[in-house]
Structure 1
């Protein structure tokens, strides 16, 4: 086995140093003065063999070891940070097979060249770990963004569905309202048409009745109405309708019927009662004369007597009363005549 040749000792002069101090930076009495030594290739020949010690330039191997340690620590720290940030299992770091120190350091290549290789390994490991952490963070970001987009899509879908439902409801309400308005208008139009038809029918009926009924006299003035209160009447109110007209004015039958009474009737003076086919009695009072007899059949417009001032009166007039069904209580003659198409 080859061994390294010892380095020649440098000359020294003991008398040039103090012998009292033994601390760091001091010299002993048995040491001589130090001289600057600059070895050359001639003074030191490289030792070749299996076991070689590389020449160090400014602590190159130490720096390489430091760089390796820092790279490994950085890689492990990056892996831990990636695990903490992403919540995943720590990233395993595979260490490549490193050549032995002797192969990294040779006489042909400077020793400090090993430092970049080791530092490069640490950088590559750190870059790989950082890339893994970046990929994990990017995956987490993508997942969060996808969830946010999904939630936003769901919200937009719900909003669109709600808007569509509201629009459909509004449209349905509008259609229902329009249908209801149309129905109301149709019902109103139908009612109006029915009312108009009823009015026309009533007018036709009254027109037909008018040919069957007539007013009891002509050239008259209404002086007292039905129900009018006063002391002139024994009942305290007027029981008929008064047609004031000159004495002798003709009195006519308002409708066809039978004469059931004709003669003197006390305060009514001369009175004629005409019973119609439906049983209604029409009284004609205060006549000056009677032209018919009991049991006689008369038609509409036939003369039955003349206007006078007999009985309890203040002047010549025809007192007309209407008693449906022959009842003792009469009704308003004006309303009854209007129901027959006549306007007294």
Structure 2
């Protein structure tokens, strides 16, 4: 740490007065008032030389501080000489720039060099700080970009996973729907087959209860045929052409409710079943039953003929459900009973 050396001890001389450049005896004539100037004062050599500074308030203030220090030292000596008190050692603390200012010529040059590099150091430090700040900003931006990219990748992966999961669910739902449709179709097919089998069995049972009205026949007219041969304008029954005298049988068990002549129908027999359905047997050559008679399936009720409005021997069969005036198709009715004319 640089410091100013203590002031030189004042001589303990009595009768002498301290003056500039030495002492004089009290009896010597006064030298007169001294007013030092730049020309009269020689430069102080050694560590107490004040270095000249160019520009800046700090150098000028340091110079003033150095001169003040010298004046204080001199004043201390004079005070010691006048008062006779022991000399006081004055030490100056280290102050930035002061030690280097109060120095030899070489030190002053070094100080000037040091001061000249302050701006360069500051500029370099500023540039370094700016570079560090830019690098930190760049690193932060890259980190944020990386985080955002990770988020985008995560969302994309999640979207792919969701799409795959949805596709799997849709496929599973479709497979389940197809399986249900197949099961339903198989069930419906099985039910249809079972119903068909049941119907066949029913018809077989009915066939045992029903029979065709005659044998050795040919179907020559069907229900609904149009023509002038029929008074209604269309054929109202089913014609079984057979030789005259061919036996006519009861199709099912029932009661004879009519037997006799019926105009254009010739000789007609009406068999009423238990459900109220009337069966008309027309154009008979002869009748073998009477009204009120109970007959069973297959009993002979008459014979094929050509009576009434006909062009040849045949059996004209009509079916009237519930005894209604208008009949239905006898072919369909017979098939519903398990018979196939």
TM-score of the superposition, structure 2-length normalised?
0.68
Q: 1:248 aligns to what? A: 245
- CA distance in 2 between counterparts of 1:201 and 1:129 reads 105
Matched, 1:337 2:334: yes
Q: Among 208, 211, 214, which residue is 1:217 paired with?
A: 214
- CA distance in 1 between counterparts of 2:279 and 2:154 reads 86
Matched, 1:173 2:173: no
Aligned counterparts, 1:179-198, within 5 A: 179-198=176-195
Q: Among 156, 161, 169, which residue is 1:159 paired with?
A: 156
User: CA 1:116–1:226 in structure 2 vs 1: closer, same or farther (change >3 Å)?
Assistant: same
Q: 2:139 aligns to what? A: 142
- CA distance in 1 between counterparts of 2:286 and 2:104 reads 167
Q: 1:304 aligns to what? A: 301
- CA distance in 1 between counterparts of 2:218 and 2:245 reads 15
Q: Is the 8 A contact 1:224 1:242 kept in 2?
A: yes
Q: Is the 8 A contact 2:268 2:283 kept in 1?
A: yes
- Cα offset, 1:122, TM superposition: 4.5
- CA distance in 1 between counterparts of 2:243 and 2:48 reads 173
Alpha-carbon deviations, 1:288-327, whole Å to 9, x = none?
1122222222111111111111111100100001111112
Query: Bigger radius of gyration, 1 or 2?
Result: 2
Q: 1:128 aligns to what? A: 125
- CA distance in 1 between counterparts of 2:113 and 2:265 reads 152
Alpha-carbon deviations, 1:236-272, whole Å to 9, x = none?
1111110011111111111111112222222111111
State the SS of the aligned residue for 1:100: helix
Matched, 1:279 2:276: yes
State the SS of the aligned residue for 1:287: strand
- Cα offset, 1:230, TM superposition: 0.9
User: CA 1:53–1:283 in structure 2 vs 1: closer, same or farther (change >3 Å)?
Assistant: closer
Alpha-carbon deviations, 1:70-103, whole Å to 9, x = none?
xxxxxxxxxxxxxxxxxxxxxxxxx964753564
- Cα offset, 1:176, TM superposition: 2.2
- Cα offset, 1:50, TM superposition: 4.9
Q: Among 261, 265, 271, which residue is 2:262 paired with?
A: 265
TM-score of the superposition, structure 1-length normalised?
0.67
- CA distance in 1 between counterparts of 2:156 and 2:105 reads 73
State the SS of the aligned residue for 2:216: coil
- CA distance in 2 between counterparts of 1:343 and 1:290 reads 25
Q: 1:78 aligns to what? A: none
Unaligned runs of at least 5 residues, structure 2: 1-19, 22-43, 56-94
- CA distance in 1 between counterparts of 2:183 and 2:48 reads 120
**Size of the alignment, in residue pairs?**
266
Which moved further from structure 2: 124-133 or 306-315? Answer: 124-133
Q: Is the 8 A contact 1:287 1:309 kept in 2?
A: yes
Alpha-carbon deviations, 1:152-202, whole Å to 9, x = none?
223223333333333333332222222222222222222111111111111
State the SS of the aligned residue for 1:184: helix
Which moved further from structure 2: 223-232 or 120-129? Answer: 120-129
